[in-house]
Structure 1
Amino acid sequence: MRVFFLGALAAAMICGSAAHAADAAAGKEKAEMCAGCHGENGVSQTENIPSLAGQPDQFLQWQLVFFRGGARKNEQMQPIAEQVGNEDVRALGAYFASLTPPKTTAPDDNPDLSKKGAQAAVGRRCASCHTDTFAGTKAVARLAGQREEYLVKALHDYKSGVRSGGAGAAMTDVAYPLSNEEIEALAHYLAHFQ
């Protein structure tokens, strides 16, 4: 019985990773529609548009579902997400999660601001959800290396209640007491986090 269970477990793992690879391959084709805004290979070159490369699979899937259902509002994303079926949601999540996350190549031009941002991150316990490396996990976003101005916008959106869906309540609680200076510092720190 034990041998059968181990064999079944191994087969499920092989099939699961084969299915994930198939989803990622299908997602690559579907992701062509995303490149215009989110950049080639999911690395955004456009202000206030997030990079998707290296974001956790479940996080990406949930965001598409939130846009599709209207829980998360965005004039550009909602009409696109409304046309994306469940299989494509899974494929896009797998594809973007499989890509190498963006890395900041420029040196930190304001280490004092990063130091303040690191203090704000500790004070708000950001690592408790986003992990110690801010790489995110499961349905929690990757923050490390994300576009700085997008992080500022996202924190302001959470603070004002404009952004909801998923961890909206937790993020609103985190962002609401942040001053504008803390938001700027936190975004700078996370964008330059390696």
Structure 2
Amino acid sequence: MPRPLAFHVISALALIALTSARAADIKEKAAVCAGCHGDNGISQTENIPSLAGQPDQFLQWQLVFFRAGSRKNEQMQPIAEEITNEDIRSFGAYFSQMTPPRAAEDKDPDLSKKGAQVAVGRRCASCHTDSYAGTKAVARLAGQREEYLVKALHDYKAGQRVGGGVAAMADVAYRMSEEEISAVAHYLAYLK
């Protein structure tokens, strides 16, 4: 084998081994997240969001906000304070590649219809995309836990949640009635 080809083969094998080691490392680190956010990033715990399928940049920014203390949560703060920038990038990539939660069968289609009207009226798709899958630093809403969406909207409305897009979200949530919050959260949680 000529030397240049052998060098490239060895380099490629070393890169594959390094990538595999990093993947195993982040999978091991992400196991801590499963305690709250669920296996494969799909939460089974009230008021805890699913991470699976969230956009990479969105996840990274949320971890940065938790680590900096600008986004407050007593469970997340100590964890986020211990993670490195490389971990943040790895967690974002790891969870963004997972299959997002599948919405259950909607037991209240009338409430979903009202929620869809609220979402259109509040122009939610202008940031979160037409499918509500999110993009870049904007959260995926489709299939997220209903009670978590209600909590997030209340936090924005009360000015308790900060981060990317906070001005837009605070403005939108501030003007929403309790009925609108419940309806849009239901619609998004059951959106397929």
Answer with 1 or 2: which has the greater Rg.
Answer: 2
Q: Which letter maps to 1:72? A: R
Q: Which letter maps to 1:162? A: Q
Separation in 2, partners of 1:153, 1:165: 16
Residues 21 and 159 of structure 1: CA distance in aligned 2, closer, same or farther (over 3 Å): farther
Q: Which letter maps to 2:164? A: G
- The residue number in structure 1 matching 2:89 is 90
| 1:1-194 map, 5 Å | 26-105=25-104, 107-194=105-192
SS at 1:162's partner residue? Answer: coil
Q: Which letter maps to 2:141? A: L
SS at 2:150's partner residue? Answer: helix
Gaps of 5+ in 2: 1-17
Contact kept? 1:121, 1:186, Cα under 8 Å = yes
Separation in 2, partners of 1:120, 1:71: 29
Separation in 1, partners of 2:22, 2:177: 41
Separation in 2, partners of 1:23, 1:130: 31
- TM-score normalized by structure 2? 0.88
Q: Which letter maps to 2:48? A: I
Contact kept? 1:143, 1:190, Cα under 8 Å = yes
Q: How many residues align?
A: 175
| Offset, 1:22 | 7.7
Residues 119 and 125 of structure 1: CA distance in aligned 2, closer, same or farther (over 3 Å): same
Identity %: 75
Q: Which letter maps to 2:150? A: V
Q: Which letter maps to 2:175? A: P
Residues 157 and 22 of structure 1: CA distance in aligned 2, closer, same or farther (over 3 Å): farther
RMSD value, Cα = 1.6
- TM-score normalized by structure 1? 0.87
Contact kept? 1:27, 1:94, Cα under 8 Å = no
Q: Which letter maps to 1:46? A: T
Separation in 2, partners of 1:72, 1:171: 14
Separation in 1, partners of 2:80, 2:62: 9
Gaps of 5+ in 1: 1-18
Q: Which letter maps to 2:114? A: K
Write out per-residue CA displacement over residues 98-150 of structure 1, whole angstroms, 9 at most, x where no aligned residue.
Answer: 10000113x21111100110000001100000000000000000000000000
| Offset, 1:20 | 8.9
Q: Which letter maps to 2:189? A: A
Q: Which letter maps to 2:167? A: A
Separation in 1, partners of 2:181, 2:19: 36
Contact kept? 1:60, 1:93, Cα under 8 Å = yes
